[in-house]
Amino acid sequence: MDWVAVGLKEDVPPGMVIPSRISDTELALWCTPSGRYHAWSDRCPHRGMRLSHGFVRGDTLACIYHGWQYNEAGSCEYIPAHPKLTPPDTICVPTYACAEAGGVIWVSLAGTDMPLPVLGGRVPIRSLQISLSAPDLAAHFGAHSFTTIAVVSDHEALLAVQPCTDRTCMVHALAAPDADRKVVSRWLEDLRATLEGVPS
């Protein structure tokens, strides 16, 4: 599978974890204090608690329920209830390929050899939820893939589409560095109204 945008860099500052998703796969998206991004299955293997409710401590993500700490490879390296125990290698969280490029965080669930999307120097403007499935949104623009959709005629915008549910997706929009952010933002809201069939 291709790279999918799951959030903007500015929404996940160092030391932060947030929930995200690609269709039915729920993700815990987090950033180490030194700025490395990770996308993991949003479930602690101990008791099934969502890791996106956890906290970043050093270069680990800790579960909020019992404080189990997972290193950047997703392996459990500390169990507070048993401080002297070295946790077995078998306790680990499923991890996904994750990288930041152009201010956008990208995830590939199946892993990929594809290079990260080329953004042509555009900068992130904002993320917007739209009540339309990702394939339907791509079809609106006549695009086959929804990794990125170029809308050159309007502010040289580039839309990176994140499939969420059968009826919703998240659009992460980028535009030329010299574009007026307010104008682009307004254009996006109009676009959403059109796509959702609401008179703007």
Residues at the interface with another protein (CB under 8 A): 26, 42-43, 45-50, 53, 63-67, 79-83, 85, 90-91
- Between 52 and 148, CB nearer to another protein: 52
Q: What is the closest distance, in whole angstroms, from the C-beta atom of residue 20 to another protein in the complex?
A: 15
How far apart CA 16 and CA 32 sit, in angstroms, is 8
SS3 category, 150: strand
Q: Shortest approach of another protein to residue 81 CB, angstroms?
A: 4
In the block, residue with structure tokens 């682009």: 184
Shortest CB 86 distance to another protein, Å: 12
Question: Among residues 81 and 152, whose Cβ is nearest to another protein?
Answer: 81
Cα Dmax for the chain: 63
What is the smallest separation between the CB atom of 135 and another protein, expressed in angstroms?
26
Task: Please identify, using beta-carbon distances, which residue of 15 and 67 lies nearer to another protein.
Answer: 67
CA-to-CA dists, residue 81 to 32, 43, 65, 103, 177, angstroms: 24, 19, 12, 38, 50
Which CB, 43 or 192, lies closer to another protein?
A: 43
> Degrees (nearest 5) of the Cα angle 84, 90, 94?
120
Q: 63: phi > 0 → left, psi -120 to 50 → alpha, else beta; which?
A: beta
Element spanning 181, H or E: helix 181-195
Q: Measured from the CB atom, is 65 or 103 closer to another protein? A: 65
Closest approach, Cβ 52 to another protein, in A, equals 9
Q: Any idea what the Cα angle at residue 167 is, between residues 130 and 25, rounded to 5°?
A: 100
